[in-house]
Amino acid sequence: MSRIEDGGRGSIAKEGASLSSSTCMFCRIISGDERSFTVYHGDSVTAFLDKYPASPGHLLVVPNAHYTDYLEASDDVLCDLAAMTRVAGKAEKKALSADGVRVISNVGRSAGQMIFHLHIHIIPTWEGEVPFSWFTHRSEQPESEYREIAASLSASIREILAYEAEERRRADHG
């Protein structure tokens, strides 16, 4: 099962997800118990907008099963996470006309990890931006901005996944 969201919370299927206790915010987002602007939900990973974005379109890609951090996850989970991180980065560049993206995962409190569920930040960047200016105070944005960006990213992810599936089909049937 994989599903592209329309940018709203929607209902999130629990298939295949091993959820942590209700104390994990990301587990609650994956299960649909916490509001989010989800742009993709698949069998093993989910992508949603960061509530306190470093830049417009800042996404988080998380495994549906609970792992504390990058170092704890299995190779299979990391492969799925990497594949969706690549797609999400392409989607940010396409949908938001970003010039680049930052891909970051913090491991441990001293590294800046604040939510102890493995997650990858994909932060869009544009030319002329001051490097790492996103370390400044981050704040919640108006809901209309989240909705517009989430809808655009969802559509872009859908297009990229369809294109890549067609390319694989062509290669297999050469």
**Catalytic residue annotation:** 119
Query: How many helical (H) and strand (E) elements, i.e. helices and strands, does the chain have?
Result: 3, 6
Cα(31)–Cα(152) distance, rounded to whole angstroms? 23
DSSP per position, 81-95 = HHHHHHHHHHHHHHH
**CB under 8 Å to 33, separation ≥6 — which residues?**
22
Spatial contact of 59 and 87, defined as CB atoms under 8 Å apart = no
Spatial contact of 28 and 22, defined as CB atoms under 8 Å apart = yes
Cα(79)–Cα(82) distance, rounded to whole angstroms? 5
The identity of residue 167, as a single letter, is E
- The β-bridge partners of 104 are 121
User: H or E segment at 29?
Assistant: helix 25-31
